Amino acid sequence: MFNRIRRLRQVAAIASISTLVAGCGVLSSDSSEEEGPLVVGTTAAPSTLDPAASWDSSWELFRNIYQTLLSYPSGSTAPEPDAAESCQFTDNTNMKYHCELREGLEFSDGHSLDAKAVKYSLDRIRKINVNGGPAGLLGSLERVQVLNDREIVFHLNKADATFPFVLATPAMSIVDPEDYPADKLREDGTVVGSGPYTLESYDEGNKAELVRNDNYDGYAERKNDAVTIRYFQDSPTMVGALRDKELDVAFRGLAADDIVDIQADDDDELQLIEGSGTEINYLVFNPKDPTAGKSAVRKAIAQVIDRPAIAHKVYKDTVEPLYSMVPKGLTGHTTGFFDEFGEPSAAKAREILSDAGITTPVQLTLWYTSDRYGSATKAEFQELKSQLEESGLFEITLKSRPWKSYVTGYQNGEYPVFGRGWFPDFPDADNFIAPFVGKQNALGTPYVTPKITDNLLPNSRAQSDRANVVKDFEDAQRILVDDARLLPLWQGRQYVAASAEVSGAERALDPSTIMMVGELYRKTSW
């Protein structure tokens, strides 16, 4: 039998040996030209190549081809300088943030990257203001002031200790003012950035070919010269390509069955790297829908849903039930939905609907994306449908779309109820509440809740010591439970499957679980 713990110890041991003997050349992290680029598979294809349009896992690609002022070097849990040489708050109110750029920065096309380019990049995000786009991350930014070619000051309209985390997100990628229009998105399928790699070619929905950017000046240590990212519709096809040696690494969208099968392998040709994760999966209710907009309907669904059954039957316990929008492991996590609703109960749900004068069965359509979060999504929604209909209180219709058109649909308010996953922008409870509330948010579905947006979040952001924000986040989550506009389902773990000949996968995920492909390399000799 394949022993995951044994294999992980082997991986750790290999990594330790590599560190000790690198100087002797026993293990080399240099890829030879004959071997070709490393090939990484994922089910999360970008929805756009323009940072001004994306608040989704298009960031996976962005992190590797664009550059931000701050980022997360491997092993870091707090933002550190990347395009910047240094950054810090210059006042005691957390309202003025000063950065000085590295000297002599250039974009991949040789154009200068200066403070004006940074200001241009952030200003265009807010000017273009894509619905559901990253402008929602910049709610605390009042204006950007360029002092000189290398110095820039961000003036905030309120205290925001999380602002450095925002600057470290790939949404704040720096673009070349000569190549990106100020008032509209770039849609020609090409990229000019200053990140560790350049995008040599891009076939939408199929693959992205990355090569080392010789103009890059930042924190990343690239242990390979080129990476090809292939995009798959489902996990079985992706894992099949890994087993057939068409891929070196598979990540994002691995289905539970495939994870379990790799764990059970005894041929040692594949390794499975497992880590704790803060990915969450949840349902969103459209308040403008005549049915989903009713609080009693939402609470009845919350009362019926059996999260442990979803985790066990659909995901083979590779995920765990989640009862709060803030996942376990982060300061401020609660179990609010369990505290309020307890164990699943059709009788209690029937009472909720009856008290509100709602006749049953309630007819409702649930939407999910067919290609974003892996092939288990369909099975998950079939399980949700089964649970709701077995209560005798609901008649559920399931519908799905590919991610790109799916995003457009929920941004246009077309879906009564829809599923979303969330990979954090940064590892703080703020990022599991703030993106989903307010008139403009990551869901494109307005959620006006003044107590959270005008009181609790500002209070928490005034605290540099994040240990002091627990009560604010607990109060915010209590409101989310009372409204039941967002229904958390499960929290994921992180899995990377790789050929036994590949190293670096255990270091490739940053705190927001984005893969930094520069950490990957082949073991070329023993």
Per-residue pLDDT tens listing for the chain (526 residues): 333 333 333 333 333 333 333 333 333 444 334 478 999 999 989 989 999 998 888 999 999 999 999 998 877 778 999 999 999 999 888 899 999 999 999 999 999 999 999 999 999 999 999 987 899 889 899 999 999 999 999 999 999 999 999 999 999 999 999 999 999 999 999 999 999 999 999 999 999 999 999 999 999 989 999 999 999 988 999 999 999 999 999 998 898 999 999 988 877 899 999 877 888 999 999 999 999 999 999 999 999 999 999 999 999 999 999 999 999 988 899 999 999 999 999 999 999 999 999 999 999 999 999 987 777 899 999 999 999 999 999 999 999 999 889 999 998 999 999 999 988 888 889 999 998 999 888 888 889 999 999 999 999 998 888 888 999 999 999 999 999 999 999 999 889 999 999 999 988 987 778 899 999 999 863 3
Closest by CA to 296, choosing from 245, 339, 364, 352, is 352
- Distance between CA atoms of 296 and 172, rounded to whole angstroms? 39
Neighbours of 481 (CB within 10 A): 23
Count how many residues are written for the chain: 526
Give pTM, 2 decimals.
0.76
- Distance between CA atoms of 69 and 64, rounded to whole angstroms? 14
Region label for 132, one of left (φ > 0), alpha (ψ between -120 and 50) or beta (otherwise): left
- Identity of the residue numbered 383: E
Cα dihedral sign for 145, 147, 150, 153? Answer: negative
* Residue 274 φ then ψ, to 5°: -115, 140
Closest by CA to 410, choosing from 281, 283, 234, 231, is 283
- Distance between CA atoms of 16 and 9, rounded to whole angstroms? 10
- Distance between CA atoms of 463 and 89, rounded to whole angstroms? 13
- Distance between CA atoms of 164 and 175, rounded to whole angstroms? 19
- Distance between CA atoms of 209 and 229, rounded to whole angstroms? 6
Give residue for tokens 């930094």. 516
Q: What angle do CA 181, 187, 193 make, to 5 degrees?
A: 65
Cis amide linkage into residue 361, ω under 30° from 0: yes
Q: How far is CA 127 from the centre of its chain?
A: 24
SS3 210: strand
In the chain, the largest separation of any two C-alpha atoms, in whole Å, equals 77
Q: Running DSSP on this structure, what letter comes out for residue 106?
A: B
